[in-house]
Chain A
Amino acid sequence: DGGITQSPKYLFRKEGQNVTLSCEQNLNHDAMYWYRQDPGQGLRLIYYSQIVNDFQKGDIAEGYSVSREKKESFPLTVTSAQKNPTAFYLCASSISVVGETQYFGPGTRLLVL
C-alpha cells in the first residue's frame, strides 16, 4: 500500500522542549516537503528537499530543522526556538520539485502544554 505516513497523529510539547515529527514515503519520490497549516491561512512551506542529503529553507524555516539521510524519510524537528509551534503539520512528496503534483500525508497536530 503506497503512500505517505506521518506520526504521531497528535504531539504535545512542553516549554523548552524539542520534538521530532516523522514523515515516511514509499512512492520512490525524490522531493519531500514540510508545511505548516494555521486556521485562516494557506499552507506555508517550512523546508523542502530535492534529493537525499540536500534540503532548502522555505518561507518560515526559523525554529525548525530537518534531515534527509534516506530517500524515504524526512523528519522535522520543532526546536525550542519556535515560539508559536501550535499548528497542523503536513508532509508531502513529489517526483521532483519541478511542476509535479505533491502528495500529502495525513498530518500531525502539535499542541503546546
Chain B
Amino acid sequence: KNQVEQSPQSLIILEGKNCTLQCNYTVSPFSNLRWYKQDTGRGPVSLTIMTFSENTKSNGRYTATLDADTKQSSLHITASQLSDSASYICVVSAEYGGATNKLIFGTGTLLAVQP
C-alpha cells in the first residue's frame, strides 16, 4: 500500500533555531518527492522537488534530502523565523506508465516558531 508518514506530528522551536522534519514513504513506482508549506487556512505552496537521482535540494533556508534506498526524506530549516510557522507536507508521486501520476500526501508536521 502506498503510504507517506511524517514525523513529528507537531514541533515547537524558538526563533533562530534549526529543525529537521522527517518523511518516510512506501510508494511504488517512485517518481519524485515534494515538500510543501501550508500556512493556516491557505493552500499549500511548493518548496522543493526531488527525483530519484537527486539527494539534496535547497530553497533559501530550506534544505531537503532524499535517500531513495531507505525511502526517507528530510526537510531542514535553518535559522527559523516566525513566518516559518506552518504545516509542512511531504508529497510522493507515483508514475504509472507515463499516462498519469498519483500523488500520495503525508499528514504534515505542524511547526510553531516562538519568539
Contacts and interface: CB of A to CB of B under 8 A. Distances in A.
A8 B49 CA distance: 30
Interface stretch (A36-44, A66-74, A78-86): A36-44
Given A98-B99, A99-B32, A43 B43 contact: no
Given A40-B107, A42-B105, A45-B103, A98 B95 contact: yes
Contact residues on A (Cβ < 8 Å of other chain), bracket: 20 to 34
B42 A99 contact: no
A82 B82 CA distance: 38
A97 interface: yes
B95 A105 contact: no
Which of A43, A92, A109 is most buried by chain B, counting CB atoms within 10 A of its CB? A43
B104 interface: yes
B41 A107 contact: yes
A105 B38 CA distance: 11
Contacts, number: 50
Given A107-B41, A109-B41, A42 B49 contact: no
B46 interface: yes
Interface residues of B, number: 24
Nearest to B49: A101
Contact of B44 (A6, A45, A104, A109): A104
A105 B43 contact: yes
B31 A43 contact: no
B4 interface: yes
A104 B43 contact: yes
Contact of A99 (B4, B31, B106): B31
A102 interface: yes
A35 to B, nearest CB: 8
Interface string B86-102: 00010001010011110
Given A40-B107, A42-B89, A101 B42 contact: no
Contacts of B31: 99
Contact of A42 (B4, B41, B45, B99): B4
Given A42-B106, A104-B43, 9 more contacts: A42-B104, A42-B105, A42-B108, A43-B44, A43-B89, A92-B43, A101-B34, A104-B45, A105-B43
